[in-house]
A and B are shown apart, each in its own frame.
Chain A
Amino acid sequence: MTVASPSDFEPQGLQPQSWLKYFSFSLDHKVIGLQYLVTSFIFYFIGGALAGVIRTELTSPISDFVSRETYNEVLTLHGTIMIFLWIVPVVNGAFGNYLIPFYVGARDMAFPRLNAVAFWLIPPAGILLIASYFVAGGAAQSGWTAYPPLSLSTPAIGQVIWILSVLLLGGSSIFGGINFIATILKLRRPGLNLMQLPMYCWAMLGTSILVVLSTPVLAGTLILLSFDIIAHTGFFNPALGGNVVVYQHLFWFYSHPAVYIMVLPAFGLVSEILPIHARKPLFGYTTMVYSIMAIVVLGLVVWAHHMFTSGTPPWMRLFFTIATSFIAVPTGIKFFNWLATLWQGKLAMNSAMLFSCGFIVNFVFGGITGVALAQVPFDIHVHDTYFVVGHFHYIVYGGTVFVIFASVYHWYPKFTGRMLNEDLGRLHFLLTFIGFNLCFAPQHWLGLNGMPRRVAEYDPSFTTLNQVSSVGALLMAISTLPFLLNVIWSLYAGQPAGDNPWNALTPEWLTSSPPPVENWKGEAPLVTHPYDYGIPEGKIDLRVASGSDLWYGGKR
């Protein structure tokens, strides 16, 4: 067939085409992806401001900046927003929607309408959640875990709104997961095998399986919790014969996999970024795939390690310790594979690469403390302390958020057709990396020495380190300024990027930037070796390289 003329690609009628399309019920997966990205960034800044409130409060050992009730509302909102409105929508919704159709060679997701519905559940849920701060009694005060009976005895309206909001977000997440599974398994371009997919597809497949299996359990649990609040049933109310530990089991059955829902896509994204900027094939593709699937399976059976002090029987503690420790094995495989991917590469030290490497460093540290936390004797001591706070921020911020920034630097040229400024990008990285480590590294020490989490006041001997941590948080806040400046400025004045500024082989780069409505003029390229970089025997001849080499990876 021949190259289709642009007139063949008239989009569906009634869809606005200008900037307005980003505020519409667009069915284009790229528009939806960017809608997710921008919306979540707005929530990131709100959640970050809440973190600022927390760190300001903690600069002094007494409760002085905000009232104790407000402090609990703030920490609840911070956790909920950062998890459900920032990280999950960005690494799944934003990059997933933007990239997956490219990677499988499709023109859109399997269910474009469902996709749009999934996105448009998010802004109302977020607005609802934030608005709950202003209702009588204020927002939910029981932490993002909403453990009963505390969540039953704090002001009810805020808690019910919190449940409603999380249910909406969970629904959005399930719809997204169904869409990804169907797209990856059923919409692949003919000729494209599963084992030829870019790694991010595998990560999203694993993530979506977790979403579909575990999120509904959270939804059911929260429905029961709302009955307890509204109808005064006694599922989780010990005064009425209920059982609070059952809630914890059900909650963590979702919320531990939620950690993998947040980091697996990041693993996938980083596996896309590293080979391109190291100019080398991804090391150990097959083991990477198996380790993702191993993490999915193990991730479903480790939830009770959050409950070692909740009165769980010994056999359960033993089982969950061993299972949790074994997650370190597939994770370690991935870590070594990334290192081997870098090894002997020709590394381009740009912002995307720096953030990816920052991710590896932080994540390894977070992983080591994670294995330590899996051990019952150790966990009994540090459970619910700042050690845990430090640990999971190393995973979700040092891990996932670093990857999100790397991905923005990497794919911004594809989104907009313009490059981001590298100097500002490196400044952003430097500030973020220093600020992040300054903020969260001391928290491990604080936790080990006796500072519990979620407190507005603490032992005065911890003051200095808390102030160090707050300075780190301030640095992190400042570090977003160059980023914001960069993104907005580059949108209008950035250097034009061309279609493939990184000389990448994955399919999204083999179209124009930004891509046309149905992704490709003409049919989608068949990329069977997405990581075929590098010079095998030290020879490459530019003059004989042709488009077919690009698409077939030179391996017909």
Chain B
Amino acid sequence: MTSLAPGSANPAASPLTAVAIEPSPQEHGAAAYAADDHGGHVDVRLFGLATFLVADGMTFAGFFAAYLTFRAVNPLPAGSTYELELILPTINTALLLISSITFHRAGSNLRQGNQAACRSWLLGTVILGVAFLAGQMVEYFNLPFGLTDNLFASTFYALTGFHGLHVTLGVICILVVWWQARQGGRITQHDHFGLEAAELYWHFVDGIWVVLYGILYLL
């Protein structure tokens, strides 16, 4: 079997290496590979996005861990409380969960070739997302504490603010997708990476919110 010979003093002269760069055809069994030549390779963009979301999730995990530790170890100063108004956030949670469903409807409509319905569902998702952000704003302005009042206040604003940033970004992405779908071309029945990516991201943001709602409001 094997293999190579010898580290000769002047390897450039080795006949083996000369062969190595100019393969003759029969040495390549894997003909399927030819299709993969130059340029187009398998589409790994969604995989990449998923990996990125894992990383993003770890950022949130770090925040959550910090928050839970603060809560376990550092008592709040007298007069402050962990209690929060629950009605508005619960409505917000419902809005966000519904928006996940509407986005899913948008995706399935597109795959069935129903472009117009897809765009309406997208717009519906955008409206729900904006409503969520508006609800957050209302909550912010009605809270009894400010950013630096105590540790819980700081953590609260940091967590919800960071999440709100994600929602804002998501809304912008959906608008871009909607615009592309309206223009046609970029988002079609058979070519809809943009929509799938935005959908995956949106579900991720929703999932984070559910955890956040659980530990920040309910706990």
Contact = CB atoms under 8 A, between A and B. Distances in A.
A402 B7 CA distance: 24
A241 B62 contact: no
Interface string B112-138: 000000000000000000000000000
B183 interface: no
A315 to B, nearest CB: 15
A524 B29 CA distance: 12
A457 interface: no
A501 B32 CA distance: 31
A246 B2 contact: no
B44 interface: yes
Among B4, B24, B41, B162, max chain A CB count under 10 A is at B4
B20 to A, nearest CB: 5
Contacts of A553: 1-3
B79 interface: no
B3 A549 contact: yes
A169 interface: no
Contacts of B141: none
B8 to A, nearest CB: 8
A503 B4 contact: yes
Interface in A195-215: 212-215
A220 interface: yes
A499 B12 contact: yes
B58 to A, nearest CB: 4
Interface in B24-66: 24-25, 27-34, 36-39, 41-42, 44-45, 47-48, 51-52, 54-63, 65-66
Contact of A503 (B16, B24, B61, B158): B16
A217 B64 CA distance: 10
B94 interface: no
B17 interface: yes
A121 B76 CA distance: 40
A533 interface: yes
Interface residues on B, range: 35 or more
Contacts of A182: 44, 47-48, 51
B7 A241 contact: no
Contacts of B148: 231-234, 240
Q: Is the interface of B mostly helix, strand, loop or mixed?
A: helix
Contacts of A503: 4-8, 11, 14, 16-17
B144 interface: no
Contacts of B23: 3, 522-523, 525, 547, 551
Contacts of B151: 234-235, 240-242
Interface string A209-244: 000111111011101100100011111000011110
B59 A220 contact: yes
A391 interface: no
Interface stretch (B67-75, B100-108, B185-193, B199-207): B67-75
A523 B28 contact: yes
A473 B48 CA distance: 43
Contact of B21 (A1, A190, A231, A510): A510
Given A190-B33, A500-B20, A234 B11 contact: no
Contact of A3 (B22, B69, B162): B22
A187 interface: yes
Interface in A344-370: 348
Q: Is the interface of A mostly helix, strand, loop or mixed?
A: loop
A232 B158 CA distance: 13
Contacts of B1: 532, 536, 549, 553-555
Contact of A554 (B3, B17, B52, B58): B3
Interface residues of A, number: 87
A234 B65 CA distance: 16
A234 B148 CA distance: 7
Nearest to A547: B19
Interface in A533-551: 533-536, 540, 542, 545-551
Contacts of B29: 191, 526
B22 A550 contact: no
Contacts of B18: 499
Interface of B: 1-8, 10-14, 16-25, 27-34, 36-39, 41-42, 44-45, 47-48, 51-52, 54-63, 65-66, 69-70, 73-74, 76-77, 147-148, 150-151, 154-155, 158, 162
Interface of A: 1-3, 8-9, 106-107, 110-111, 114, 174, 177-179, 181-182, 185-187, 189-191, 212-217, 219-221, 223-224, 227, 231-235, 240-243, 246, 249-250, 253, 279, 348, 496-503, 505, 509-512, 518, 520-526, 532-536, 540, 542, 545-551, 553-555
Which 7 residue pairs are nearest across A and B when measured between Cβ atoms? A498-B12, A547-B19, A554-B1, A217-B62, A233-B154, A216-B59, A500-B17
Given A501-B11, A540-B5, A545-B3, 16 more contacts: A107-B41, A174-B55, A186-B42, A190-B36, A212-B54, A216-B62, A234-B150, A500-B16, A510-B21, A518-B38, A522-B22, A532-B2, A536-B2, A547-B16, A553-B3, A554-B1
24 contacts: A178-B51, A182-B51, A186-B47, A191-B33, A212-B55, A213-B58, A216-B56, A221-B66, A224-B63, A235-B70, A242-B70, A246-B70, A249-B65, A348-B7, A498-B10, A498-B11, A499-B18, A500-B14, A500-B17, A523-B23, A542-B5, A547-B16, A553-B3, A554-B2
